[in-house]
Structure 1
């Protein structure tokens, strides 16, 4: 299962943000485990690990060449908020328990838009689809083809900013 809900991009005074919103028929506790339990995290983002789950702690990104990049956790409210460095940006997951399940907001605060931005956004989109499939007890074997589907849509989403001279894609 994949979501057709593309991210929303907004220009801020300094930078931009991309906001993804999903609603899943699962508890916030189950979704939180997908974000913070390294065994579950590895199922949807093999390169990402929680090193020290606390404000001031860190996530670790495996660069694939033997280098592990630490990314500081800026905000942590157990069960509801996890925000950490993502290169020069910040990624923030926010969970809201609702009667029928959990609403997830993923916001990436972007210092700038560049040619890598639509790649990252398409990647986050697919990651959220994989989390949903896993929560539903399903596999998600089409990550690469899904990413190839979403990447041009995110280039298109960012086109108005390119036309305004704010980004080079």
Structure 2
């Protein structure tokens, strides 16, 4: 598996399309875990408002962000109807959940240098692999900046749009 920043698109054993990202991070697993689960950190880069600090089996509600409302006119669901489920929640190593039929899996392994993060998104629609990869790459760039205490001076949605345009 290569270390392509853009991720690797592949077919799963059951014929679905997935994207996998691998990052080697000079931070302990606990710090990486916080970057992908802490609401204050998620709010900067994750494409939904959600509480991921829930036990396995919990229903999840992935809500519309303020930026999505402003930019795309998306409307929040006032009933907060569940649209996902926590499958595995094993801090600080495994986070796996379902979101509107897609599977998202985060695996963090400690290394002598810090951590190895493997993120896999199994898609419901294979035709969105390229824009989805651009979005996740943009999000992971923010995660890395947060981990390194670098200021976030860009909008991840703008960055995702830029990355997707470079695919054409």
**TM-score class, shorter:** 0.7 to 0.9
8 Å contact 1:81–1:94 — kept in the other structure? yes
For residue 55 of structure 1, give the secondary structure of its aligned residue in structure 2: coil
How do 1:20-169 and structure 2 match up within 5 A?
Answer: 20-45=21-46, 47-50=48-51, 53-63=54-64, 64=69, 65-67=75-77, 68=80, 70=82, 71-114=84-127, 116-142=128-154, 143-153=156-166, 155=167
Gaps of 5+ in 2: 70-74
Give the aligned length. Answer: 152
TM-score if structure 2 supplies the norm length?
Answer: 0.79
**Per-residue displacement from partner, 1:21-55 (whole Å, max 9, x unpaired)?**
11111111001011222222223226332165111
8 Å contact 1:126–1:147 — kept in the other structure? yes
Shift of 1:69: 5.3
Which ranges of 4 or more aligned residues in structure 1 deviate by more than 4 Å? none
Cα distance between partner residues in 1 of 2:101 and 2:38: 24
Cα distance between partner residues in 2 of 1:24 and 1:40: 17
Further displaced range: 31-40 or 130-139: 31-40
Residue in 2 aligned with 1:15?
16
Give the 3 Å change call, closer, same or farther, for CA 146–152 of structure 1 in structure 2: same
RMSD: 2.2
For residue 137 of structure 1, give the secondary structure of its aligned residue in structure 2: coil
8 Å contact 2:135–2:157 — kept in the other structure? no
Point out the structure with the larger strand share.
1
Gaps of 5+ in 1: 157-169
Cα distance between partner residues in 1 of 2:31 and 2:144: 11
